[in-house]
Every structure is written in C-alpha cells, then in structure tokens.
C-alpha cells in the first residue's frame, strides 16, 4: 500500500453534536448515580441535609455544590422536614424510586444474557482470563447486577472459575471451557444480515465495516481509496487464537491493526448502551492486544467510532459505536437501556412542572379534607336532629302531665295502658309510633274537657 493511499496516522477529531448533546445529559446522569449509590446506602434511604455536603465531597463534589445540585432536579430528589426531629432530610421521589426498581428488575430478568456477554468478553482475552476488578469497574456498562460476583460467577460454576493469582495477588475470572458457538462477532452477524436484505456481493463485504463519517468530515480522493483498500483487507477474528502465528511481516501487522478495530467493535457491542469510556477500554489493553496510543488509533476510524470529550471537564473520553445509534438513540434498545432512559427523562423535566405537580397534589389533599369535613358536619347535624326530636318528645310529655294535673280527672286504666305502651316504644327507639300514641293521648284529654 502506497503512502499516498493509506489512512493517515493522525487525524483531527470532527465533532458530532448529536453524540455530544447525549453526553451533556449523561454527565448529569453520572452525578445523579453517585448520589443514588450514596443515598441507598444510608439508613432508611434518607440523608440529613447537614451531612450532605460532607458525604458529597467524598464522591467528587465541591464544597456547597451538593445542595444546589439536588434542588436542580426536584423530580428525583425530595427535601422534607422530619415530623418529630424538625430536621431537613433528602430522599428520592416516588418516580425516582420507581425507576430504580424498574432498572433492578430489568437487570435481574436479563441475567442469562449477562452470563453470555461475560463469557464472550473473557473469550476475547488472549489468556482466557480477566481481572475481577476490571469487570467490577465496568459492571454497569456490561449490564451486570451489583452482586454479579455471586449471581453470575459463583452461581454458574459450569461456566466460570474465580481464583487468586499468586504472582499479582489479584482475583481473576476464567472460563471453564470455551464454546465455539459464541465465537461469532457482532459485525459478522451484521454482514450476514446486510447480504440477506440487500443482496450485496459477499466478497465486497466479507471484511468490511459499516462506516458513517460525522458531518463536516472532509473526505479526499486518496482518502477514499485508502478506506476502500482497508475495507477489503483480511484480518484475524477477535475470538481467534493468534499466539502461534508469525506476526513479523508488514501484512500481518496490518491485519493485527484491523483485528484491534474488530476487538474494540466487539467490546462495545457487548455493552448495554454500545458505549464505553476509553479509560475502561484501556483496562483490557494487555489482555486483548490493543495498541498503546488508543485515542490516536481510534481517531483514524472516525466513521466507525466517535470519541466524545464531554464529561469531567474534558478528562473523560467516551467511545460510541456509531452504527448502533440513530438520531441520538439506540437502533435496537433493550430493557435495561429503556429503564435508564427514564432517569434521563426525569432529569430533563422542568422544575416548574414539579412545583405544579406538588400544588396539584396538595390541592387534591385539600379537596379530600373538605369532603371529610362536610361528611363529618352532616354526621354531627344528623345526630343533633336526633337530640332535637328527643327534646320535643320530652316537651310533649311534660305538656300531657300538666294537662292531667290541671284537669284533676283520672283517665283510668286505658290511659295507664297507653302510657305503658308509649314507654315501651320509646325504649325501642321508634319515634314515629311515639308521635302517634302522643296524639291519641291528647285527643283523650280533649274529650274529657268537652264532657265536662
């Protein structure tokens, strides 16, 4: 390959605002996740505001930054006053707790897929083993649960073996046996799909990658020729053991460089969100034969990968797999990705909407209180009416006794029986019968006066 038609070793990075805007949101997600881990470890999952600044400095926040941060996201964090202690506390909102629960359920549901991803990741290693600490650092990226050491590794002894290395004093995870059926790369399946759907010549796409350059990337005539030649260059599979090959020739070195591209492509394909920080990729550099100058190496292939420097003041480099994204979202989303996107939605919600929601909820509580007060008032009014009826009956009875005493006439046995009946009925609580008996008693007294 001539020098004029080869891919330059050093290329300037061309920004893709779609991925950079994604990282602007992800920067906030990273900070929220740090707070999430801190609050979940506290008793009752609440944290005192007076201790917030001290604990937040341990996770990278500056002085007096934590309080302002939690107030920016009222849909995630809720500040409340303890009803007894009268101390301000911080906790998660119901929406945030629901999102955490959904992500946890999604991680538990896809544990079989996580086992397969971990097996494939270890198969990429040239020694057949990977440090446990490196897997733990990238645990969230590969969709592994928090207790993956037990739920994924120790619970599946037919696949994994955990041991301590005497020379390095580190824990390693190795495969019990390699499965040849797992040694198929994601790019190979994609080529097969392209061939079946579009009917492209198999020879032209046999060793090619999907290339989509960012907007504004200048492509010259000789650069096109260099990319065309590179696309047809054979290379060794990332799952292939190359320890016994002679790699001293120039052609073999070119193949190994393309194999490194395929290796990074496969690592990103094994992640949940098809992205990984360059610093975490560098953890697997020795085990997977990756080049030392990783950033310059990836910038030569900006049509396959995109490196975003948005995050941690430009010190953090995130590598995206370009073909996996379209319009700022994954082409093939999974349950874990969808659950994590809900956290991004809570971050993007306006604080004003949170205030409206709280006012609406308080308005509903006021309405419920008013309804309870009205019901209570009706109950009191009904009871008062019962007392008023009893008072009227007492007045009527007093009037009858006065009439009898004034007339001086003994009503006789009939009147006594009538009074006994009214007494029995009053004990039963039948007000209507009492009124009838009272009216009869008054009519008798009227008859007595007439006869007189």
Q: Which residues of 163-202 are buried (b: 16+ CB within 10 A; e: fewer)?
A: eeeeeeeebbbebeeeeeeeeebbbeebbeeeeeeeeeee
All residues at 6 or more sequence positions from 229 whose CB lies less than 8 Å from its CB, including other chains: 1, 5
Q: What is the pLDDT of residue 376?
A: 56
Answer yes or no: is pLDDT of 268 > 50: yes
Q: Are 266 and 124 in contact (CB under 8 A)?
A: yes
Answer yes or no: is pLDDT of 74 > 80: yes
Phi/psi for 144 (5° steps) reads: -95, 140
Distance of CA 253 to the CA centre of its chain: 44
Domain ranges (residues) in the chain? 3-16+98-350, 21-93, 354-451
Phi/psi for 88 (5° steps) reads: -80, 135
High-pLDDT (> 90) share of the chain, %: 44
Phi/psi for 91 (5° steps) reads: -150, 175
Q: Are strands 318-321 and 275-277 parallel, antiparallel or unpaired?
A: antiparallel
Answer yes or no: is pLDDT of 428 > 50: no
Range with top average pLDDT, 282-286, 374-378, 422-426: 282-286
> What are the tens digits of pLDDT across the range 138-150?
999 999 999 999 9
All residues at 6 or more sequence positions from 320 whose CB lies less than 8 Å from its CB, including other chains: 19, 268, 274, 275, 305, 306, 307, 308
Q: What is the pLDDT of residue 306?
A: 95
All residues at 6 or more sequence positions from 340 whose CB lies less than 8 Å from its CB, including other chains: 29, 103, 273
Q: Are 261 and 301 in contact (CB under 8 A)?
A: yes
pLDDT-derived band at 122, boundaries 50, 70, 90: very high
Unique residue bearing structure tokens 């009037």: 399
Alpha-carbon separation of residue 399 from 305, 392, 439 (angstroms): 103, 11, 12
> What are the tens digits of pLDDT across the range 172-221?
999 999 999 999 999 999 888 888 877 767 667 888 999 999 988 888 88
CATH 3.30.70 at 21-93, yes or no: no
> What are the tens digits of pLDDT across the range 272-306?
999 999 999 999 999 998 998 899 999 999 999 99
Q: What is the pLDDT of residue 83?
A: 86
> What are the tens digits of pLDDT across the range 31-59?
899 999 899 988 889 999 888 888 888 88
Distance, CA of 123 to CA of 263 (rounded, Å): 11
Closest CA to 76 of 33, 140, 38: 33
All residues at 6 or more sequence positions from 350 whose CB lies less than 8 Å from its CB, including other chains: none
Answer yes or no: is pLDDT of 336 > 50: yes
Reported in sequence order, the residue ranges of 62-195 that DSSP labels E, i.e. its strands, are: 77-81, 88-92, 129-131, 160-164, 171-175
Helix, strand, coil % over all residues of the chain, rounded to 5: 55, 10, 35
User: Span 55-81, mean pLDDT?
Assistant: 89
Average pLDDT, the chain: 79
Token couple for 187 = 């790019």
């Amino acid at each position: 390959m001539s020098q004029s038609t080869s891919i330059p070793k050093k290329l300037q990075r061309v920004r893709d605002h779609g991925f950079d805007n994604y990282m602007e949101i992800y920067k906030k997600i990273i900070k929220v996740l740090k707070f999430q881990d801190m609050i979940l470890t506290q008793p009752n999952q609440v944290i005192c505001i007076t201790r917030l600044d001290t604990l937040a400095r341990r996770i990278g926040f500056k002085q007096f930054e934590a309080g302002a941060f939690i107030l920016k996201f009222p849909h995630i964090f809720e500040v409340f006053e303890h009803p007894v202690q009268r101390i301000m506390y911080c906790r998660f909102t119901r929406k945030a707790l629901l999102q955490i629960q959904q992500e946890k359920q999604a991680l538990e549901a896809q544990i079989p897929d996580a086992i397969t991803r971990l097996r494939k990741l270890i198969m990429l290693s040239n020694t057949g083993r990977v440090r446990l600490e490196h897997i733990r650092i990238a645990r969230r990226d590969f969709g592994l649960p928090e207790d993956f050491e037990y739920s994924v590794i120790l619970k599946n002894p037919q696949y994994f073996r955990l041991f301590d290395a005497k020379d390095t004093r580190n824990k390693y995870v190795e495969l019990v046996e390699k499965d040849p059926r797992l040694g198929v790369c994601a790019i190979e399946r994609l080529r097969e799909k392209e061939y079946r759907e579009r009917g492209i010549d198999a020879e032209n796409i046999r060793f090619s990658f999907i290339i989509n350059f960012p907007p504004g990337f200048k492509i010259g005539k000789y650069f096109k020729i260099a990319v065309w030649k590179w696309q047809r260059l054979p290379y060794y599979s990332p799952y292939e053991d190359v320890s016994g090959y002679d790699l001293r020739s120039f052609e073999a070195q070119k193949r190994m460089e393309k194999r490194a591209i395929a290796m990074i492509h496969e690592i990103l394909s094994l992640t949940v969100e098809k992205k990984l920080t360059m610093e975490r990729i560098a953890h697997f550099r020795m085990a997977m034969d990756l080049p030392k100058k990783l950033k310059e190496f990836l910038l030569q292939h900006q049509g396959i990968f995109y490196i975003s420097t948005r995050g941690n003041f430009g010190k953090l480099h995130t590598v995206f797999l370009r073909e996996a994204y379209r319009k700022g979202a994954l082409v093939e989303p999974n349950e874990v990705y969808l659950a994590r996107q809900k956290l991004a939605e809570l971050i993007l919600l306006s604080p004003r909407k949170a205030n409206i929601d709280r006012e609406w909820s308080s308005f509903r509580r006021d309405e419920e209180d008013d309804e309870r007060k009205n019901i209570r008032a009706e109950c009191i009014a009904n009871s008062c009416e019962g007392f008023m009826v009893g008072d009227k009956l007492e007045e009527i009875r007093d009037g009858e006794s006065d009439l009898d005493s004034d007339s001086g006439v003994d009503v006789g046995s009939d009147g006594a029986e009538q009074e006994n009946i009214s007494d029995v009925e009053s004990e039963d609580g039948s007000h209507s019968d009492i009124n009838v008996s009272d009216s009869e008693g008054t009519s008798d007294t009227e008859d007595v006066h007439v006869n007189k």
